């Protein structure tokens, strides 16, 4: 089948590569000439395991093309997927300018029936606006061409996006036209062959499903962090509590790991956008507001522990392991590391940072800013540091050489924002260990 995707960012590239890998002919359209040139050279502007080889394979096979020419894209595909960014406005609402610009562009160039699909995460009612935008462009041309608008939200986890697309938990289709649903069933059939995971519903319900899913997962994270803060004050261990409640199948173990709060391109933006959408229909979404408030507070927790330990951060040097908001990505958007680094620099401390993947992205963010140094390895970041802070749970941080850590740091102190280590082991190693929700700090007496 012939598919056009507007937007060659994270969602657009993963979607395009996976659809092409199933034998479809895909054209990705973007307005950034540097990005298009990069993709044509086989270079990928994001980090996603396996994506570079998949794009290269399908580009060389002629199933995947990249272009700046919007008309070429509209002419190519029966399916016109809108996968452009919807950044938050100052009030938290989603900015739909790029989505509606693409919709108008499709209307300007289409000459036959098209299925116009929103892949971007958008507020409820956006498909109606897309339909109007396409129709207005056709009307200006004096053209009468049939088209359908569909909501087809993505459910891709950064770091595991290819597996999520190739073997999805569900494919949500929002449409009021049974014929369109059958066309999409054919498009997605290679990915749902073992079990029909396609869920067809009305357009507005599909739009809300995406926001609801991300808001629910964000709620679990914030609730667990709230419990972790309580556990710390009660002298309980949140990791034992996590196992105790996760064993209940009604709760499960997913997304109940305490830490430094959620980040990335989805959860922060989507929780804020859904709360803003609620406000626009005169509803006070108090739980959503609390989820966001707890998350913002949680990002400050590790810095608060450092202040209590050192008294003042002025003149201190912190080794920071992990910069991306989660492992297996270079995404620094809303990352907890940024909150910590900003607080440390503002307090007069120095930062020696390391991340296996996200260093180039972080270097862009802190270009020219004094007080931060990027190191070539985790061990190099330790040299001359007063303590170690662990922000992202990369695999290589899970079983380090603690003897080397003690020898290299000025003092054996670890601030662990991801609860990677066993407090008993830290005590035996003679390391003062601050974790999240683990009762007494190892090496510290009960006050």
* Average pLDDT score, the chain: 95
Number of H helices, E strands in the chain: 18, 14
pLDDT on residue 194: 75
Q: Examine the pLDDT at 447 and tell me if it is beyond 60.
A: no
- Average pLDDT of the residues in 281-298: 97
Is the pLDDT confidence value at 445 over 70?
A: no
**Among 242, 240, 239, CA closest to 253:** 242
Instruction: Report d(CA 215, CA 220) in Å as an integer.
Output: 9
Is 442 a residue whose pLDDT tops 50? no
Q: What is the pLDDT of residue 443?
A: 47
Biggest alpha carbon–alpha carbon distance for the chain = 79
Confidence of residue 193 (pLDDT cuts 50, 70, 90): confident
Asked if pLDDT for residue 441 goes beyond 90, the answer is: no
CA distance 336 to 295: 10
Task: Name the band, by pLDDT with cuts 50, 70 and 90, for residue 440.
Answer: low
pLDDT tens digits, one per residue of 303-334:
999 999 999 999 999 999 999 999 999 999 99
Question: Looking at residue 89, what is its pLDDT?
Answer: 79
Q: Which of 18, 28, 266, 362 is catalytic?
A: 266
Q: What is the pTM of this model?
A: 0.91
Predicted pLDDT of residue 244: 97
336-356 average pLDDT score? 98
CA angle 241, 226, 264 (to 5 degrees): 105
Measured CA to CA in angstroms, residue 200 lies from 166, 366, 401 at distances of: 19, 45, 52
Helix (H) or strand (E) holding 353: strand 350-354
Q: What percentage of the chain exceeds 90 in pLDDT?
A: 92
- What was the pLDDT predicted at 446? 43
Helix, strand or coil, per DSSP, at residue 388: strand
Query: What is the pLDDT averaged over residues 387-391?
Result: 98
User: Which of 165, 243, 256, 264 lies closest to 217 in space, CA to CA?
Assistant: 256
Q: What is the dihedral of CA 100, 104, 109, 113, to 10 degrees?
A: 80
Q: Is the pLDDT of residue 44 over 70?
A: yes
pLDDT on residue 358: 96
28 counts as catalytic: no
């Amino acid at each position: 089948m012939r598919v056009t995707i507007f937007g060659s960012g994270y969602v657009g590239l993963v979607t395009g590569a996976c659809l092409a890998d199933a034998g479809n002919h895909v054209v990705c359209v973007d307005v950034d000439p540097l990005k298009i040139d990069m993709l044509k050279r086989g270079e990928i502007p994001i980090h996603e395991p396996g994506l570079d080889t998949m794009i290269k394979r399908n580009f060389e096979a002629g199933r995947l093309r990249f272009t700046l020419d919007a008309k070429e894209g509209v002419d190519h595909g029966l399916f016109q997927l809108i996968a452009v960014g919807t950044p938050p406005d100052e009030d938290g609402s989603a900015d739909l300018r790029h989505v509606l610009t693409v919709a108008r562009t499709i209307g300007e160039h289409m000459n036959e029936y098209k299925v116009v699909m929103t892949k971007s995460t958008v507020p409820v009612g956006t498909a109606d606006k897309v339909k109007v935008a396409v129709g207005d462009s056709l009307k200006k041309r004096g053209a009468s061409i049939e088209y359908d608008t569909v909501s087809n939200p993505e459910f891709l986890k950064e770091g595991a996006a290819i597996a999520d697309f190739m073997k999805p938990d569900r494919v949500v289709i929002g449409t009021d036209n049974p014929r369109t649903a059958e066309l999409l069933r054919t498009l997605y059939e290679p990915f749902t062959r073992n079990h029909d995971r396609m869920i067809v519903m009305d357009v507005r319900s599909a739009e809300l499903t995406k926001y609801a899913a991300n808001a629910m997962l964000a709620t679990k994270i914030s609730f667990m962090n709230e419990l972790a803060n309580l556990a710390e004050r009660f002298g309980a261990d949140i990791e034992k509590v996590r196992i105790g409640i996760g064993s209940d199948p009604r709760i499960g173990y997913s997304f109940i790991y305490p830490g430094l709060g959620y980040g990335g391109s989805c959860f922060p933006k989507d929780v804020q956008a859904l709360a803003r959408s609620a406000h626009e229909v005169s509803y006070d979404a108090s739980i959503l507001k609390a989820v966001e408030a707890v998350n913002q507070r949680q990002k400050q927790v590790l810095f608060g522990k450092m202040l209590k330990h050192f008294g003042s951060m002025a003149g201190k040097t912190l080794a920071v392991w992990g910069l991306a908001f989660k492992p297996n990505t270079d995404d620094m958007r809303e990352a907890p590391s940024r909150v910590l680094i900003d607080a440390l620099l503002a307090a007069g401390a120095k930062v020696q940072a390391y991340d296996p993947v996200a260093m180039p992205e972080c270097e862009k963010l802190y270009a020219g800013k004094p007080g931060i140094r990027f190191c070539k390895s985790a061990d190099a970041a330790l040299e001359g540091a007063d303590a170690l802070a662990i922000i992202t749970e990369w695999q290589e941080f899970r079983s380090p050489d603690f003897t080397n850590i003690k020898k290299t740091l000025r003092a054996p102190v670890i601030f662990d924002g991801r609860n990677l280590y066993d407090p008993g082991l830290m005590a035996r190693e003679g390391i003062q260990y601050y974790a999240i929700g683990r009762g007494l700090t190892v090496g510290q007496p009960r006050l």
